[in-house]
């Protein structure tokens, strides 16, 4: 039985409807799969970027913390240096005051003459030379000569040897020093400095640990005291 044109058209429409339905379902399936893959990829990218951001800020946080530690260390070092400088300034002021007080000794002829005798005699004993030259302040020449006259017999008696003493009348010690003498051997290569400043420096050097303890207290970080 032959199909009529109406039947053919009907079958064609039915086939087209079926194809369209298949196509729609395929498109829906593709869309669904594409959306699923998109969401997976988006999640992966978001997670990757989140990790990168966290790593970035974690690195920044560590850098800031390190910077803070460096700044704190620098501030502590600066504070420590200021404290040390303040202490050194205080000790310098103390030694300056001591020098000013030493200068007062030379203004008392009685006490200063006795001090000169001891300094001159000590210079003789330290050199133990047959010929010596004494250098002093120009204003002290007479007192030094008197001291020499007094201590030479004491020296001769002690060492059982003669000594020739010359006071340098051409080169004097600076008049602004506190006082005292310098004693040289005959060729001038060996010197004993017995000025008041020199004696102060020696005493200050020897007593500096004790001075620091008295002024600033004991250092808690110091393990040895000798």
Domains of the chain and CATH, by start? 102-208 (3.30.2320.30)
How much is the pTM?
0.60
- Describe the chain by its helix, strand, coil percentages, rounded to 5: 70, 10, 20
Are 123 and 148 within 8 A, CB to CB?
no
For residue 3, what pLDDT is reported?
65
Q: 133: left (phi > 0), else alpha (psi -120 to 50), else beta?
A: beta
Are 181 and 116 within 8 A, CB to CB?
yes
* Model pLDDT for residues 34-64, shown as the tens digit of each residue: 888 888 888 888 888 888 888 888 898 899 9
pLDDT at 204 over 60: yes
Are 140 and 116 within 8 A, CB to CB?
yes
Q: How far apart are CA 36 and CA 42, in angstroms?
A: 10
What one-character-per-residue DSSP string does 4-69 give?
PHHHHHHHHHHHHHHHHHHHHHHHHHHHHHHHHHHHHHHHHHHHHHHHHHHHHHHHHHHHHHHHHH
Are 180 and 197 within 8 A, CB to CB?
yes
pLDDT at 131 over 70: yes
For residue 16, what pLDDT is reported?
83
DSSP bridge partners of 193: 182
Are 103 and 136 within 8 A, CB to CB?
no
For residue 193, what pLDDT is reported?
95
Number of Cβ atoms within 10 Å of the Cβ of 2: 5
């Amino acid at each position: 039985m032959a199909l009529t044109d109406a039947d053919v058209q009907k079958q064609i429409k039915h086939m087209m409807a079926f194809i369209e339905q298949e196509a729609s379902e395929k498109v829906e399936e593709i869309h669904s799969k594409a959306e699923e893959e998109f969401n997976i990829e988006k999640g992966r990218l978001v997670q990757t970027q989140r990790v990168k951001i966290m790593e970035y800020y974690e690195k920044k946080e560590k850098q800031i913390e390190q910077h803070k530690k460096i700044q704190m260390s620098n501030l502590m070092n600066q504070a420590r240096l200021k404290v040390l400088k303040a202490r050194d300034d205080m000790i310098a002021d103390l030694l300056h005051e001591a020098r000013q007080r030493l200068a007062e000794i030379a203004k008392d002829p009685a006490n200063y003459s006795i001090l000169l005798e001891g300094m001159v005699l000590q210079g003789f004993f330290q050199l133990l030379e047959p010929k010596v030259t004494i250098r002093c302040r120009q204003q002290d020449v007479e007192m030094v000569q008197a001291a020499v006259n007094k201590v030479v017999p004491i020296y001769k008696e002690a060492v059982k040897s003669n000594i020739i003493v010359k006071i340098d009348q051409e080169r004097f010690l600076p008049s602004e020093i506190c006082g005292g003498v310098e004693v040289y051997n005959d060729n001038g290569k060996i010197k004993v400095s017995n000025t008041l400043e020199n004696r102060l420096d020696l005493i200050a050097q020897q007593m500096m640990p004790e001075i620091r303890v008295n002024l600033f207290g004991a250092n808690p970080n110091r393990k040895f005291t000798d």
